[in-house]
């Protein structure tokens, strides 16, 4: 540490850069959980992604992704303490987010097929906003169904409806 450096801010007293703040947070959480992992942070296309790679990340991911979702929510608020930011924070562990997105797309296809065959709306289980967005965007590309969200957080869910001819 250089003179005048308190470790959390630069000499002028500014907050750490978002990428640095996210990396520090993820390292601290991993150390607190006694996880032997590497942490990598990158910003691309308005998304700040923090990735943990290592063994036994099940504890970090949690049941149904609840822990990683909570860390991601906290990270967004810690990295951007002044409120909403155009940059979105995503926290991933051993590729969990892509595996989850694949499962969501498969679930979305099943719901769309059911809506088309029955001619009636089909509701999915409640999902966090960023997962609902994955499904909305994925099904928008199909063109044969429409989607909208209903309910209140944390029980907000997505409804898939056949497109009216």
pLDDT digits 0-9 by tens, 15-71: 789 999 999 999 999 999 999 999 999 999 999 999 999 998 999 999 989 999 999
**76: domain range?**
18-94
Cβ-contact 84, 46 below 8 angstroms: no
**At 129, which CATH number?**
3.30.1370.50
**Domain membership flag for residue 61:** yes
Is 120 part of any domain?
yes
Q: Which of 46, 62, 94 is the last residue of a domain?
A: 94
Q: Cα–Cα distances in Å, from 92 out to 48, 57, 58?
A: 11, 10, 12
Domain count, the chain: 2
How far lies 41's CA from each of 8, 51, 139, in Å? 18, 6, 29
Tell me how far apart the alpha carbons of residues 128 and 51 are, in angstroms, rounded to a whole number: 20
Q: What is the pTM of this model?
A: 0.81
Other beta carbons within 10 Å of 59:
11
């Amino acid at each position: 540490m250089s003179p005048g450096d308190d470790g959390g801010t630069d000499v002028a007293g500014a907050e750490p850069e978002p990428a640095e703040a996210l990396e520090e947070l993820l390292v601290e959480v991993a150390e607190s959980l006694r996880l032997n992992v590497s942490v990598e942070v990158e910003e691309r296309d308005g998304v700040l992604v923090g990735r943990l790679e290592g063994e036994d990340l099940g504890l970090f991911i949690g049941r149904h992704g609840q822990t990683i979702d909570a860390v991601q929510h906290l990270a967004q608020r810690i990295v951007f303490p002044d409120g909403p930011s155009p940059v979105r924070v995503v926290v991933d562990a051993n590729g969990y987010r892509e595996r989850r997105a694949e499962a969501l797309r498969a679930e979305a296809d099943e719901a769309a097929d059911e809506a088309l065959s029955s001619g009636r709306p089909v509701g999915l289980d409640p999902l966090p906003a960023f997962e609902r967005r994955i499904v909305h965007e994925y099904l928008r590309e199909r063109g044969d169904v429409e989607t909208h969200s209903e309910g209140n957080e944390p029980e907000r869910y997505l409804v898939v409806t056949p497109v009216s001819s």
